[in-house]
């Protein structure tokens, strides 16, 4: 504990938060990549310093992914895509300070709720995760896809078609179960599949460039912005909204926690489910959604960071990664000679308390502080003249796509996805659902195939386990209430 409170430990936290805020704000440079690049440095640090620094990096970087959504309509993470339209529109109706203030404060509160759950129930909740098999994970993926149908606020049919397109794109490359190559068209690069981060940059970033060139806009988006840039917009107003919508925050955080502790699920599915539940509650009415965009953002962001904390539950208690960040962290554990699992709670409690304290410090201090700095930067960037902004966005898209795998072919994929998005917009098809399909497609396919193989192609096996049945009923409930509220709003 003394090393955690030493100047080295506090410096690691501060520098980690700064690194995460700058890194995450650049489209294509995700929290996972930020943590991965930090690993060579972590090798030379004490675990009580290295692991908290990783938490600070990931917590702040996941929030910073919303900066691209607010400024250029480019989500930094698949979770950010769940409330992309709301964050982008609210940034222009009010200011990025207010919209990103909701994101930062919602993330901070959700992260603290997730941390409290992590502390009091790590072993208990992880015991539930032990009972999850491929059948349950298949239904988790179906649950996320079903929620995505109603997350657009538009036509469920068009959202369904976008999901199917995303699922189709996710099949490019080698079959994850049988190892059979598909849709590679003789190109060896495509055997690795389409990276959803590269696709996301093209779908949301490059398509905006094409859209603005096509419509020959003159910067009307930036003229409606207010010039006020006080801390009241970032701190006070969002906190008042959180107090007003405390049950929404609690519900969304709990949804993020429930999804986040499932090994391999992470924050992405949690954010989609939380925002979908909020939109279903509002009946899918477009006008009503515009009036309550701040609530949708709050639902997604509070779920986001709650899932970040709960993803550490299976990592600490079972040695199973809750998401890609904790998968990297498990490598750090093993590199430092630390064996995660139930014995960790007895053998190294000082390390666990250092992790817990880091979550609280990251969410209480680092996230609001660095969040305010990045929001002020976003407020400046959003007022850049449109031609210059388009050049900046195009450059960031190219650099971000190339940086994922250091592969020029990814740049062409990004441009192709941008052209595809441009065409989809002409037909009114929502883009976030395409990303959701690409993210959940491999999870659904792999767990479906594993389940079918081990049950010898018995379809009834999907309906035999109690937890699988519960997840199926929740999925049916989302579909039923989504259609019910949509029909009710049409009649009114």
In a domain, 2, yes or no: no
97-136 burial, b if ≥16 CB within 10 A, otherwise e? bbbbbbbbbbbbbbbbbbbbbbeebbeebbeebeebbbbb
Q: Residue 28: left (phi > 0), alpha (psi -120 to 50), or beta?
A: left
Question: By C-alpha distance, which of 24, 63, 29, 79 is closest to 440?
Answer: 79
What digits encode the pLDDT tens for the residues 2-42?
466 677 778 888 888 888 888 777 765 667 667 777 876 77
Per-residue pLDDT band for 480 (boundaries 50, 70, 90) equals confident
DSSP strands (E only) in 125-184: 173-174, 181-182
Q: Return the pLDDT at 220.
A: 43
Q: What total number of domains does the chain contain?
A: 1
Range scoring the smallest mean pLDDT among 162-171, 193-202, 336-345 = 336-345
Q: Return the pLDDT at 121.
A: 72
| Structural domain containing residue 269 | 7-491
CA–CA distance, 342 with 327 (Å, rounded to integer): 17
CA–CA distance, 400 with 414 (Å, rounded to integer): 10
Q: Return the pLDDT at 105.
A: 92
CA–CA distance, 88 with 82 (Å, rounded to integer): 12
Q: For the chain, what is the mean pLDDT? A: 79
Question: By C-alpha distance, which of 265, 242, 243 is closest to 255?
Answer: 265
Q: Give the SS3 label for residue 349.
A: helix
pLDDT higher than threshold 70 for residue 471: yes
In a domain, 307, yes or no: yes
Range scoring the smallest mean pLDDT among 44-53, 65-74, 227-236 = 227-236
Residue 423 CB contacts under 8 Å (≥ 6 apart), including other chains: none
Q: Return the pLDDT at 218.
A: 42
Q: Return the pLDDT at 177.
A: 80
Residue 114, CA distances (Å) to 1, 121, 160, 375 in order: 22, 10, 31, 24
408 contacts 231 by C-beta, under 8 angstroms: no
What digits encode the pLDDT tens for the residues 357-413?
888 888 888 888 888 888 887 777 666 776 777 787 788 788 878 877 788 898 999
In a domain, 1, yes or no: no
Q: Give the SS3 label for residue 86.
A: helix
Q: What is the mean pLDDT of residues 334-338?
A: 71
H or E segment at 370?
helix 367-381
Tokens of residue 303, six digits: 């779920």
103 contacts 61 by C-beta, under 8 angstroms: no
Q: Return the pLDDT at 320.
A: 60
**For residue 250, with 0-12 CB atoms within 10 Å meaning exposed, 13-18 middle and 19 or more buried, which class applies?**
middle
Q: pTM here?
A: 0.70
For a pLDDT cut of 70, what percent of the chain falls above it? 81
What digits encode the pLDDT tens for the residues 85-126?
888 888 888 888 888 899 999 989 988 998 888 887 766 655
CA–CA distance, 97 with 119 (Å, rounded to integer): 32
Q: Return the pLDDT at 93.
A: 84
């Amino acid at each position: 504990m003394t090393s955690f409170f030493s100047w080295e430990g506090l410096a690691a936290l501060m520098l980690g938060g700064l690194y995460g805020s700058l890194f995450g704000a650049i489209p294509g440079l995700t929290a996972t990549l930020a943590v991965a690049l930090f690993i060579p440095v972590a090798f030379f640090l004490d675990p009580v310093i290295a692991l908290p620094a990783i938490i600070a990096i990931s917590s702040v970087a996941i929030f910073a992914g919303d900066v691209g959504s607010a400024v250029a309509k480019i989500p930094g993470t698949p979770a950010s895509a769940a409330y992309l339209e709301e964050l982008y529109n609210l940034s222009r109706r009010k200011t990025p300070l207010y919209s990103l203030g909701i994101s930062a404060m919602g993330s901070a509160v959700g992260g603290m709720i997730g941390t409290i759950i992590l502390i009091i129930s790590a072993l208990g909740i992880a015991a539930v995760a032990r009972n999850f098999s491929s059948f349950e994970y298949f239904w988790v993926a179906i649950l996320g896809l079903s929620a995505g149908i109603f997350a657009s606020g538009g036509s469920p049919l068009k959202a369904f078609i976008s999901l199917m397109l995303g699922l189709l794109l996710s099949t490019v490359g080698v079959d994850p179960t049988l190892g059979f190559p598909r849709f590679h068209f003789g190109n060896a690069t495509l055997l690795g599949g389409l990276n959803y981060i590269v696709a996301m940059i093209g779908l949301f970033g490059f398509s905006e460039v094409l859209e603005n060139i096509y419509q020959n806009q003159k910067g009307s988006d930036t003229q409606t912005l207010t010039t006020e840039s006080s801390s009241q917009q970032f701190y006070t107003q969002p906190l008042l909204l959180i107090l007003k919508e405390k049950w929404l925050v609690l519900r969304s955080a709990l949804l993020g926690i429930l999804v986040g502790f499932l090994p391999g699920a992470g924050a992405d599915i949690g954010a989609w489910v939380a925002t979908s539940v909020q939109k279903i509650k509002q009946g899918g009415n477009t006008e009503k959604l515009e009036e309550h965009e701040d609530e949708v953002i709050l639902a997604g962001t509070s779920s986001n960071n709650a899932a970040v904390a709960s993803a550490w539950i299976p990592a600490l208690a079972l040695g199973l990664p809750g998401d890609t960040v904790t998968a990297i962290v498990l490598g750090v554990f093993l590199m430092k000679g630390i064996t995660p699992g139930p014995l960790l709670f007895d053998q190294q409690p000082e390390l666990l308390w250092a992790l817990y304290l880091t979550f609280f410090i990251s969410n209480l201090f680092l996230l609001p502080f660095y969040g305010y700095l990045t929001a002020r930067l976003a407020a400046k960037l959003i007022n850049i003249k449109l031609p210059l902004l388009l050049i900046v966005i195009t450059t960031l898209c190219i650099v971000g796509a190339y940086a994922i795998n250091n592969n020029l072919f990814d740049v062409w994929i990004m441009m192709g996805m941008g052209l595809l998005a441009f065409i989809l917009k002409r037909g009114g098809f929502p883009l976030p659902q395409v990303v959701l399909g690409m993210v959940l497609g491999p999870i659904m396919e792999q767990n479906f195939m594993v389940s079918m193989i081990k049950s010898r192609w018995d379809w009834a096996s999907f309906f035999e386990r109690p937890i699988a049945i519960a997840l199926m009923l929740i999925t049916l409930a989302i579909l039923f209430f989504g259609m019910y509220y949509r029909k009710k709003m049409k009649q009114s």
